Chain A
Amino acid sequence: MVTRAAKFSIQGLHVHYGSLCALRDLNLEIAAHEIFTVIGPANSGKSTFLNSLNRLIDLEARSRVRGEIRLDGVDIRAGLEVETLRRKVGIVFALPLPLPVSIYENVVYGLRMQGVRDAKTLDAAVERSLRESYLWEEVKDRLRTPAMNLSGGQQQRLCMARILAGQPDVLLFDEPTSGLDPISTARIEETMLILKEKYTIVLVTNNVAQAARVGDRTAFFLMGEMIEVSATSTMFTTPADSRTSDYITGKFG
């Protein structure tokens, strides 16, 4: 596992909101093609961590970021344009957020934005990314209908397709199944396990069992600090820190 190249390497990352410290001295490497899961109670800094990876954190007016994040060895602040970074590092939010247009237009939105006009290219991208997110069979006959008509789970897979259409490197998931039923959740999890062949996945979840089901490695965050990081199987069988075992056995959080 460690022999694989690091996709992200994070050194000395601190994030403050005003005077509040949301993330403290984080040092971490995320390998290519792994599913890296982050667990922890509310306000532990999980989402802050995720939003730092594609610089969505910059949208928070009061946020300050120190430290260094490298994507494939390139500093994401100094070495990359923010728009390029966000295309390479796509994010799926907790609530499915289709744009108020058709299914087709939702998927090609990012491509159109990049100036892709050719209908064949767009059609191909729609089929490829909808197949990757396992939505194609369900929607192939109604691509031109409003995306809002889809069910919650379908909308979430559409949001995945929308990101996949832009051929990213990394997929960030911010509690992607928190609003979904168990069957939709299972489909999303299956999809992630297949997607990791092509992409690197960082999954933040409130659902400890989900981390155990899909994670290769897992990190436990608590009040802005990373308490422990290890192979998922290790963490869920022999956690090193008593706070970790308390959390995963449900004693708090």
Chain B
Amino acid sequence: MSSTRLRKLKEWWIEKAILLSGIFSVVFVALIFIFLLREGLSLFRGESVFDFLLGKSWYPISDPPRFGILPLILGSLLVTLGAAAIAVPIGLAAALFIAEIAPGRLKEGLKAGIELLAAIPSVVIGFIGMITLGPWIKNLFNIPTGLTALTGSVTLAFMAMPTIVSIAEDAITAVPRQYREAAIAMGATKWQTTWRIVARAARPGMVAAVMLGIGRVIGETMAVMMVTGNAAIIPHSILQPVRTLTATIAAEMGESVQGGAHYAALFAIGIVLFIITFLINGVADLYLHRSRR
């Protein structure tokens, strides 16, 4: 057999193997979604979508049970917005500092530190939040419990930060050196170059970093369950206990009856979460593509 034919055969196999892996990853996502839909949609035989999404009370084991997830959605939203308000400005500023200003050794040290932060298991962060941050917030605001939405936001900010910093830093570093030179050659100061040229050119990547960071916050379960107090009530302030969508699934799945309405309701929450994270990742993707244009 000629070597070209052998090579062609090899090419063919490699190509197909890669194609198959690609197909598999898409199929798995589709299967997960189908499974979620199958388990979750059965809830809506007895319950209207409207009551589910906008119902104000979540009493899954009372009689009759009430499956209104508005408090949970608001809980997730409040914790996420709080975390974003903390993590986004600090994270982006840190990324700019690391990419543009920090001298060599400090830069390496900071990058290693950020990676380490990303590697801490969420349960450990939750634990620290529970035993140190919670009591501190309780004393600071003089409230009955330190396990509040604010505690959750601060804890989650620590988890979103590494994602935001490392992706934003990549985006900033990827700005062509020539842009900086062009700006400096026109008499721009270091700060003007960083702010008006580099941050501007890196903006799509920075937006993507923020979206992915927020995506991580919304999906986070363990830490948030440990520090938010888990009260399924509509929050009126950031200093009240809240319960998130994720924490509800994690806490209640064990005690629900398989195939029952409660079980289906938890899966329906899963669908809602899936759609939210899908949208967020979609927006992030859009921006990432624009940056590569």
Interface positions of A (Cβ within 8 A of B): 54, 56, 59, 82-87, 90-91, 93, 95, 97, 99-101, 109-110, 112-113, 159, 162-163, 166
Contact = CB atoms under 8 A, between A and B. Distances in A.
A97 B182 contact: yes
A166 B182 CA distance: 14
A109 B189 CA distance: 13
A35 to B, nearest CB: 20
Contacts of A112: 196
Given A100-B201, A101-B200, A83 B189 contact: yes
Contact of B185 (A84, A90, A100, A113): A90
A83 B187 contact: yes
Contacts of A162: 186
Nearest to B189: A83
Contacts of A100: 179, 200-201
Interface in B14-46: none
B137 interface: no
Contact of A95 (B178, B185, B197): B178
B143 to A, nearest CB: 47
A87 B187 contact: yes
Contacts of A93: 178, 181-182, 185
Leading 6 A-B pairs by shortest Cβ distance: A87-B187, A86-B187, A83-B187, A110-B186, A97-B182, A91-B185
A97 B197 CA distance: 12
Nearest to B179: A99
Main secondary structure of the interface of A (DSSP, over half): helix
A145 B197 CA distance: 18
Interface in B191-216: 192, 196-197, 200-201
Nearest to A163: B186
A110 B196 CA distance: 11
A99 B197 contact: yes
Given A56-B185, A166-B187, 9 more contacts: A54-B185, A56-B181, A59-B181, A83-B189, A86-B184, A87-B186, A97-B181, A100-B200, A113-B192
A161 to B, nearest CB: 12
25 contacts: A56-B184, A59-B181, A59-B184, A82-B187, A83-B187, A83-B188, A85-B187, A86-B184, A87-B187, A90-B185, A90-B186, A91-B185, A93-B178, A93-B181, A95-B178, A97-B182, A99-B179, A99-B183, A99-B197, A100-B200, A101-B200, A109-B183, A109-B186, A110-B188, A159-B182
Contacts of A86: 184-187
Contacts of B181: 56, 59, 93, 97
